[in-house]
A and B are shown apart, each in its own frame.
Chain A
Amino acid sequence: DAGVTQSPTHLIKTRGQQVTLRCSPKSGHDTVSWYQQALGQGPQFIFQYYEEEERQRGNFPDRFSGHQFPNYSSELNVNALLLGDSALYLCASSWGRGLYGYTFGSGTRLTVV
């Protein structure tokens, strides 16, 4: 049974560009949450998707947007990249409106130069 898969694993982008990260949830999970983890810090909640809608959002600007597809997979989009957006982006899937079975992917390491 595949767990949470994220792609790509690594990415280098130039300041001002746009990036799209992808996440496929664990089988049986219907909720996807995205987190940003800067070097040396704990993960910070970006937003959560359930039933193809954004249900909760953390303290991140509108440059961060997302989408959930009917098959529960999700994308995270970041526009107008800043150097400070360099981080590990983690996707987690869960069920029961996000309360149960929290499982993280291995992350996408984004470097903005």
Chain B
Amino acid sequence: GIQVEQSPPDLILQEGANSTLRCNFSDSVNNLQWFHQNPWGQLINLFYIPSGTKQNGRLSATTVATERYSLLYISSSQTTDSGVYFCAVNTGTASKLTFGTGTRLQVTL
């Protein structure tokens, strides 16, 4: 099956700093999503982004499908950005999601 790897595994930032999270996948995908999991376990969809670039406030994402990677940018980080960020993909006609290994982000004051 498809392999999805994320880097870095852990990231500690001071409030106001910017960061880039990376997701590499081993095969072509139909769709790619970025999720934020808060400390209570809730997974929130940030972007559907099979290709191209999208922006939503301080967050933006870029997927280069031909090179099999996606990037999530967080600008001017806030403590509420803390949590685990996952990318997840689905392939072929299947709608099941295969999740990456996650990046744990901690934003400090």
Give residues in A with beta carbon < 8 Å to B. 31, 33, 35, 37, 41-45, 48, 56, 58, 88, 90, 92, 94, 97-99, 102-104, 106-107, 109
Which of B40, B96, B98 has most chain A Cβ within 10 Å?
B96
Q: Residue B31 at the A interface, CB < 8 A?
A: yes
Give 6 CB contacts A-B under 8 Å.
A33-B96, A43-B43, A56-B96, A103-B45, A106-B41, A107-B41
> Which 9 A-B pairs have CB atoms at the shortest separation, nearest pair first?
A98-B95, A42-B99, A104-B43, A45-B96, A107-B41, A99-B95, A106-B42, A43-B99, A56-B96
Q: Give the nearest-CB partner of B33 in chain A.
A: A102
Contact B95 A106 (CB under 8 A): no
Closest to A45 in B: B96
- Report if B12 contacts A (CB, 8 A): no
* Neighbouring A residues of B96 by C-beta, 8 Å: 33, 45, 48, 56, 58, 98
